[in-house]
Amino acid sequence: MHLSNAAKRLTALLACLVLSGLISACASLDRNGHADALAAPAGLHRELIDSGRFTLTAFSRITRPDAPLDIYIEGDGLAWITRYQPSLDPTPRVATALALAAADPAPNVVYLARPCQFTPMAMNPRCTIPYWTSKRFSPEVVTSMNTALTQFAARVPGQRINLIGYSGGGALAVLIAARRHDVASIRTVAGNLDDAFVNRLHHVSPMPDSDNPIDFASRVAWIPQIHFSGADDTVVPPAVAQRFVAAAGRRCAKTRVVPGIGHDGDWARLWPALLRMTPACIGSAKIHR
């Protein structure tokens, strides 16, 4: 009898629960199972991408090589257990960016997990704690994510790319866009677009080994972009997006504050309506999805 991937994961999870000494392994399987359950109904298929420094996990659905490509970038995930104790596995418990990707009806949708998320650590010998804490926006992380993006872009030759990032994935969306010339739009959801400001706000250590998106605002100022913030977000409050837009200029960059939602709220439920808000520069034609 051949078991489906989902059935195999369920069997392994049940085995873990019997063996109480494997709590961390169980948690990892549960998070992977949750991701598979989000992705499968949307036709998003799991794959591993060799990006040089890291092997990244992606979920993709590409059905029209002649259409634009929507790329979703995950947030920081389970980077910390407590304020002072980093996690040993940054795989998100709730993969918000994956839920957004699953709600996107476009023909070409790709979800990129961050380095060390969802992928077995044995496949990533360079996965050390700094890559989901102090170095999570470092140049080598940006290079890795951009390399993976380029591999997907090759599957839709000549097509433009729409970048969407949640939380820390919003930071990477900006940093990646600053390196490319094929980005049609940027959308961020609760995006950490000024990590120095956010770190000061929460009285946590600065990240000198990471790039700060707001320092690259002028390099993406020509790209149509919308930055969504939750009115109830106390983790990355609306002031963060507002600071970024002030640095980028308001010709192509806009903010939208969404009432009644916090940082970890149900953004996927709202996403179909928010996705219909088309980024456009003042005085230019709208970008057609």
User: Are 8 and 49 found together in one domain?
Assistant: no
Instruction: Kindly state the average pLDDT of the residues 79-100.
Output: 94
pLDDT at 24 exceeding the cut of 50: no
286 assigned to some structural domain:
no
User: Are 71 and 117 found together in one domain?
Assistant: yes
CATH number at residue 64: 3.40.50.1820
Total domain count for the chain?
2
User: Are 6 and 74 found together in one domain?
Assistant: no
Instruction: Kindly state the average pLDDT of the residues 96-108.
Output: 98
pLDDT at 169 exceeding the cut of 70: yes
User: Are 35 and 169 found together in one domain?
Assistant: no
Kindly indicate the confidence band of residue 234, based on its pLDDT and cuts at 50, 70 and 90.
very high
User: Are 182 and 94 found together in one domain?
Assistant: yes
User: Are 22 and 50 found together in one domain?
Assistant: no
235 assigned to some structural domain:
yes
Kindly indicate the confidence band of residue 38, based on its pLDDT and cuts at 50, 70 and 90.
very high
Do 285 and 224 meet the contact criterion of CB atoms below 8 Å apart? no
Residue ranges making up the domain that contains 178: 44-275
Of 222, 131, 211, 138, which is closest to residue 180 (Cα–Cα)? Answer: 222
Which residues on neighbouring strands pair with residue 185, listed in sequence order?
Answer: 162
137 assigned to some structural domain:
yes
65 assigned to some structural domain:
yes
State the pLDDT at residue 283: 81
| CA 134 – CA 63 distance, rounded (Å) | 37
Q: Among 42, 57, 74, where does a domain finish?
A: 42
User: Are 79 and 155 found together in one domain?
Assistant: yes
User: Are 87 and 113 found together in one domain?
Assistant: yes
pTM recorded for the entire structure: 0.89
DSSP-based three-state secondary structure for 180: coil
User: Are 86 and 222 found together in one domain?
Assistant: yes
Instruction: Kindly state the average pLDDT of the residues 138-150.
Output: 98
Burial tier of 212 (Cβ tally within 10 Å: 0-12, 13-18, 19+): buried
pLDDT at 96 exceeding the cut of 80: yes
Of 204, 172, 199, which is closest to residue 188 (Cα–Cα)? Answer: 172
User: Are 136 and 66 found together in one domain?
Assistant: yes
pLDDT (tens digit, 9 = 90+) per residue, 187-224? 999 999 999 999 999 999 999 999 999 999 999 999 99
State the pLDDT at residue 80: 94
287 assigned to some structural domain:
no
